[in-house]
Amino acid sequence: MRPQRDRKKARRFGLRAETIALFWLVLRGYRVIGRNFLAPGGEIDLIAVRGSTICFVEVKARASLDEARIAITSQKRLRIIRAVRVWITRNRWSTGYTLRGDAIFIAPRRWPRHLTGAFELELMDAPSNW
């Protein structure tokens, strides 16, 4: 019973962090066009557009900003990249936009930290007709 309760608590904490990150982006002139995009093998927390750039944003909430920063592992980046590839094939209008992998780190009693270009998307083997 306890693990299920812990999982629900962690999910609520994560959704709250994503909501904070969403507002942070909007206040900085981004237009959020997607949230919790699920694809086989991956997920994108937030998708936002500003100018000619589409940002695929990973949100990490931890006890400190440093802990949040190191929580984006290479395995997590691969899952995000898989989801981005699927998103691109479903949103062909994105051709011509600059694509960027960002992160927003959330910690209690701290301002969110938005790291642009936090990770490379490595989409070279994406379909050539997108």
Q: What is the CATH number of the domain that holds 87?
A: 3.40.1350.10
CB-based contacts of 12, cutoff 8 Å, min separation 6: none
For the chain, how many structural domains are there in total?
1
Please, which contacts does 90-93 make with residues 24 or more away whose CB atoms are closer than 8 Å?
Answer: 92/130
At residue 121, the pLDDT reads: 87
For residue 36, give the nearest of 88, 74, 87 by alpha carbon.
87
Q: Print the domain residue range for 17.
A: 2-119
Residue 79 inside a domain? The answer is yes
Residue 43 inside a domain? The answer is yes
pLDDT tens, position by position, 61-112: 888 777 777 778 889 889 999 999 999 999 999 999 999 999 999 988 889 9
Residue 52 inside a domain? The answer is yes
C-alpha triplet 122, 126, 129: angle, nearest 5°: 140
Please, which contacts does 28-31 make with residues 24 or more away whose CB atoms are closer than 8 Å?
Answer: 28/114, 30/55
> Is a pLDDT exceeding 90 seen at residue 54?
yes
Residue 13 inside a domain? The answer is yes
Residue 56 inside a domain? The answer is yes
> Is a pLDDT exceeding 80 seen at residue 128?
no
Please give the structure tokens belonging to residue 114. Answer: 């938005």
Residue 108 inside a domain? The answer is yes
Of residues 23 and 41, the one with the higher pLDDT is 23
Of residues 110 and 53, the one with the higher pLDDT is 53
Region of residue 7 (left: phi > 0; alpha: psi -120 to 50; beta: else): alpha
For residue 45, give the nearest of 24, 21, 9 by alpha carbon.
21
Residue 62 inside a domain? The answer is yes
Residue 124 inside a domain? The answer is no
